[in-house]
């Protein structure tokens, strides 16, 4: 029988926030223990660091320019003919997803046989669904567990993108993170042993709201924490996108107290998930670990005050760099410098299962496939600055990072080896290096419908949309 596949996925987990990676505050002892016997990829990125485009790359194995979602937009149908889950289902696997999908319509199974859904705050569904019980499986469970027909997971009032943090207001066993792990353990223990499984366990946290259990919140609240890196360029680049009175603003200079609470909430979620992943791995180890591949990753990171920025979208390391760890039969433990991205998950897992990789897939098997010299990332700028029509384009090889803001042509260049905090923009100091990376970006964007390139030059001021017009049909079936 073919091997089992377990894809553990978090939402908004920074690539440096693991204690085995040397983070000075975050404690993830159980992930550390598992990762000590796994392949650990130090240079892993989300090329389009918000939920929707990142998850489209995860589920299709394609670049944003190919699957069409180069930004964040709700309510656009997902109609892809070839998906990660669909390939496993077609091969006879028992395919199941638990937790966050962030697709549309919300109950779109995207190739999975079955889905138990908890999408966090389901913003689009809350605006348009007459009965949320029909969409989110966690809500009816919570109401049954509490005996309250009106129970909801948003009662504490902390919203889904702000830096406001507080402990979870109910028993820990009712937390959405526990629900996802509980349903995962139940699947592992009751599944059909005559079929291999592909299981997608998708935690909504550590995405806001920052509401971990009290023990997890308080263990970080009074810890000594290093100051976030802030480049001298930060205010000039992004302060115009901020609202000092909005705790969900992309650019903020919060008080030390507010920042400390936000970090305690964010890191607390990670320690909570760490323990719940241990619960899952223990259940897996009871009988299925030896013939199971396990991959842990996230859709994007969280800036958490780096350069006075919060949330995601932008290409700086806190937002774009993600964890990427793989274990399984025949995989040697060790750190890898190979440059990997979310579109690599699909070919990696299909290859591990001995299944063919569809021709539409543009990623690579990270264990044995070809290595890329550098990768391209992008995102519409409107999610950070609503009044800006452009996008932020970027390239990295893991050692250097080049950024170009298409609205005004503003460039940045960082030497990641000498300056991992991206404090010093050297674009003007190293014009030859900037020219090299600008030429590479020009080649990448040359055929794009937005008209980013004229002749051999990047042209600033081009308007962009979250869905590429040339890809509307395959991204949305014609509905935008």
- Region of 319 on the Ramachandran plot (φ > 0 left; ψ -120 to 50 alpha; else beta): alpha
Helix residue spans in 191-255 (DSSP H): 214-221, 234-238
DSSP string spanning 394-442? EEE-SSEEEEEETTTTEEEEEETTT-TT-----TTT-HHHHHHHHHHHH
Catalytic residue among 67, 102, 207, 307: 102
What is the distance of C-alpha 358 from the center of its chain? Answer: 23
Give the pairing of strands 324-327 and 410-415. unpaired
404 assigned to active site: no
> Distance between CA 313 and CA 308 in Å, rounded?
14
Please tell me the chain's helix, strand, coil percentages from 3-state DSSP, rounded to the nearest 5. Answer: 35, 20, 50
For residue 214, give every residue at least 6 positions away whose Cβ sits within 8 Å of its Cβ, in sequence order, or none.
167, 168
pLDDT, tens digit only, all 480 positions of the chain: 899 999 999 999 999 999 999 999 999 999 999 999 999 999 999 999 999 999 999 999 999 999 999 999 888 999 999 999 999 999 999 999 999 999 999 999 999 999 999 998 776 565 565 666 678 999 999 999 999 998 988 889 998 999 999 999 999 999 999 999 999 999 999 999 999 999 999 999 999 999 999 999 999 999 999 999 999 999 999 999 999 999 999 999 999 999 999 999 999 999 999 999 999 999 999 777 789 999 999 999 999 999 999 999 999 999 999 999 999 999 999 999 999 999 999 999 999 999 999 999 999 999 999 999 999 999 999 888 888 889 999 999 999 999 999 999 999 999 999 999 999 999 999 999 999 999 999 999 999 999 999 999 999 998 888 888 544 334 333 222
Q: Residue 2 gets which letter from DSSP?
A: P
> Distance between CA 55 and CA 49 in Å, rounded?
9
Catalytic residue among 51, 241, 385, 404: 51
**Packing angle, helices 214-221 and 256-285, rounded to 10:** 130
> Distance between CA 125 and CA 44 in Å, rounded?
32
> Distance between CA 345 and CA 87 in Å, rounded?
13
> Distance between CA 111 and CA 101 in Å, rounded?
12
51 assigned to active site: yes
Q: Which domains does the chain have, with CATH numbers?
A: 4-375 (3.40.720.10)
> Distance between CA 391 and CA 461 in Å, rounded?
9
Assigned token pair, 33: 């223990």
Placement of tokens 């098997």 in the chain: 365
Angstrom CA distances, 220 to 11, 216, 261, stand at 20, 7, 9
> Distance between CA 147 and CA 161 in Å, rounded?
29
Assigned token pair, 3: 């091997």
């Amino acid at each position: 029988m073919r091997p089992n596949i377990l894809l553990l996925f978090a939402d908004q987990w920074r690539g440096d926030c693991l204690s085995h990676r040397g983070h000075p505050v975050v404690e993830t002892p159980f992930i550390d223990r598992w990762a000590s016997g796994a392949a650990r990829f130090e240079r892993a990125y989300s090329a389009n660091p918000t939920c929707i485009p990142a998850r489209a790359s995860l589920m299709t194995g394609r670049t944003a320019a190919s699957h069409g979602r180069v930004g964040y937009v709700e309510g656009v149908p997902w109609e892809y003919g070839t998906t990660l889950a669909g390939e496993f289902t077609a091969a006879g696997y028992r395919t199941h997803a638990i937790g966050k999908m962030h697709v549309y319509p919300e109950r779109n199974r995207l190739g999975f046989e079955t889905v138990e859904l908890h999408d966090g705050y389901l913003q689009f569904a809350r605006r348009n669904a007459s009965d949320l019980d029909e969409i989110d499986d966690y809500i009816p469970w919570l109401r049954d567990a509490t005996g309250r027909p009106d129970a909801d997971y948003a009662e504490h009032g902390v919203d889904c993108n702000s830096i406001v943090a507080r402990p979870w207001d109910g028993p820990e066993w009712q937390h959405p993170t526990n629900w996802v792990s509980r349903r995962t353990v139940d699947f592992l223990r009751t599944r059909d042993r005559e079929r291999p499984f592909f299981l997608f366990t998708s935690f909504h946290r550590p995405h806001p709201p920052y509401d971990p259990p009290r023990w997890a919140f308080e263990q970080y609240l009074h810890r000594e924490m290093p100051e976030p890196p802030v480049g001298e360029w930060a205010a000039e680049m992004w302060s115009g996108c901020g609202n000092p009175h909005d705790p969900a603003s992309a650019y903020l200079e919060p008080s030390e107290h507010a920042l400390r609470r936000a970090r305690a909430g964010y890191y607390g979620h990670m320690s909570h998930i760490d323990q719940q992943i241990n619960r899952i791995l223990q259940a897996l180890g009871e009988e299925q670990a030896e013939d199971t591949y396990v991959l842990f990753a996230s859709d994007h990171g969280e800036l958490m005050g780096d350069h006075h920025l919060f949330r995601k979208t932008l290409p700086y390391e806190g937002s774009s760099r993600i964890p990427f760890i793989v274990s399984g039969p025949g995989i040697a433990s060790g750190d890898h410098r190979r440059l990997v991205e979310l579109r690599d998950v699909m070919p990696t897992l299909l290859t591990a299962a001995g299944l063919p990789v569809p021709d539409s897939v543009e990623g690579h098997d990270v264990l044995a496939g070809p290595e890329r010299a550098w990768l391209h990332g992008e995102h519409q700028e409107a999610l950070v600055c609503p009044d800006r029509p452009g996008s932020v384009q970027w390239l990295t090889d893991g050692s250097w990072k080049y950024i170009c803001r298409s609205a005004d042509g503003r460039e940045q260049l960082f030497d990641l080896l000498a300056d991992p905090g991206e404090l010093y923009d050297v674009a003007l100091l190293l014009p030859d290096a900037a020219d090299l990376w600008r030429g590479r970006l020009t080649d990448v964007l040359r055929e794009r419908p937005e008209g980013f390139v004229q002749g051999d030059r990047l042209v600033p001021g081009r308007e962009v949309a979250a869905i590429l017009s040339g890809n509307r049909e395959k991204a949305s079936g014609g509905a935008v």
